[in-house]
Amino acid sequence: MQTAADIVHNATKKLIELAVEGAKVFDLCVEGDKLIEQGTGAVYNKGGKGSKISKGLAFPTCISVNNCVSHFSPLASDQQSSLTLAKHDVVKVHLGAHIDGFASISAETVIVGATEQEPAAGRRADVVKAAWHAAELAQRLIKVDNKNWAVTEGVNKVAAAWDCKAVEGMLSCQHSKNVIDGKKRIILASAQEQRAGFDTVSFAEGEVYGVDILVSSSDDGKARVEETRTTIHQRASDVTYSLKMKTSRAVFSEVQKKAGAFPFNVRVLDDEKRARMGLQEAVQHGLVRPYEVLYTPANTFVAQFHFTIALLPGGPSLISHPPVWYKPELLKTEKELEDAELKETLAKKLRENKKNKKKRAKAEAESNGTAKEET
């Protein structure tokens, strides 16, 4: 996973360099996918015959701008493929790589043209700062024996400090080999109706999670589908169905060969028109799941930070790299986090070093011994 994380980090660095005023979103998406394929293609090639390791994209590159929440990765034929970045745009860069089925997925947010001399301000700055702090808090709350609702509540509280909302219904999932949408999940939700029927789970040692933090400057955090065509899909591993149409069977076979269990962009399939036709039947019967492009209301902004984290015996370990672009000096906000308990949690290191851990354990043991003597 760490090699995959390094490849994602290098691709993200390059994309952020390219995410300047006038850059085409389509070109950035194509370049991101190319960088991931090149990076994964250059490693683990020395195995003998019959020992080929699967590797490549774990999530296609998405460049979602301003109030577009996620999953924007247009095809050349789409009307929106001509979209270019403008100064002050809030840009989410989201992509992932896997090696032997073990994925590292990452996302971060940049504001085009922001510098330390001319930092971003207003609601753009608020939403990015809120999302970054929420992601930092989530990293510290995903620990052995903690519940998923602790993360949900923590993100809501942090977002509120900047008068923002977590984007309703967004999921973070457990990872395992060839799985990025495992059964243990975290939901971003403030509405009780969205929580109804959602399982309470505890985090356990040895687990890996892909955590997607999305925060909106809108009043309610609700997102909706607009006219943008869906381009990203994923084969559903838990559904079986015999496709009736010859075209559908051919396209599904191509999907399995090129993407396996991971999400894919229609762009990677040989014939776009045939692919869209073949995917219709597969989607209709749940064999393939679409990643819809969602939006919050116009004139609002969404910021995203996605990280991959493992719960190891020595404590939580961040697999993905820290954000490339984010620095407090690039954002000028009038609001700050005031909650003392949240600030204390954020001040803690993600992983306690061994010496401090031993000292704390010794102190606790001595304290318990003293208490027993007194009784």
354: confidence class by pLDDT, cuts 50, 70, 90 = low
Split at pLDDT 50, 70, 90, the class of 353 is low
pLDDT at position 1, please?
A: 79
Whether 190 shows a pLDDT value over 80: the answer reads: no
Q: Is the pLDDT of residue 372 over 60?
A: no
User: Per residue in 10-22, pLDDT tens?
Assistant: 999 999 999 999 9
Q: What is the pLDDT of residue 312?
A: 94
Quick check: 212 pLDDT over 60? yes
- Reported for 321-328, long-range contacts at CB under 8 A and 24+ positions apart, including other chains, are 321/5, 321/6, 321/8, 321/9, 321/12, 321/106, 323/108, 323/132, 324/9, 324/12, 324/13, 324/16, 324/108, 325/16, 325/108, 325/109, 325/110, 326/108, 326/109, 326/128, 326/132, 327/116, 328/129
Over 60: is that where the pLDDT of 188 sits? Answer: yes
Average pLDDT (321-338) is 96
Q: What is residue 195's predicted lDDT score, i.e. its pLDDT?
A: 76
**Higher-scoring residue by pLDDT: 249, 192:** 249
**Average pLDDT over every residue of 71-94:** 96
- What integer pLDDT is reported at residue 271 of this predicted model? 93
What's the pLDDT score for residue 197? 78
Instruction: State the pLDDT at residue 8.
Output: 98
Check residue 365 and give its pLDDT. 59
Query: pLDDT class for 229, splitting at 50, 70, 90?
Result: very high
Instruction: Out of 85-99, 103-117, 352-366, pick the least confident.
Output: 352-366
Q: Is the pLDDT of residue 322 over 90?
A: yes
> pTM higher than 0.85, yes or no?
yes
> Which residue would you say has higher pLDDT here, 200 or 364?
200
Please tell me the predicted confidence (pLDDT) of residue 192: 73
366 confidence band (pLDDT: 50, 70, 90): low
Kindly tell me if the per-residue pLDDT of 375 is higher than 60: no
pLDDT digit string, tens, across residues 274-310: 999 999 999 999 999 999 999 999 999 999 999 999 9
Q: Residue 45 has what pLDDT?
A: 87
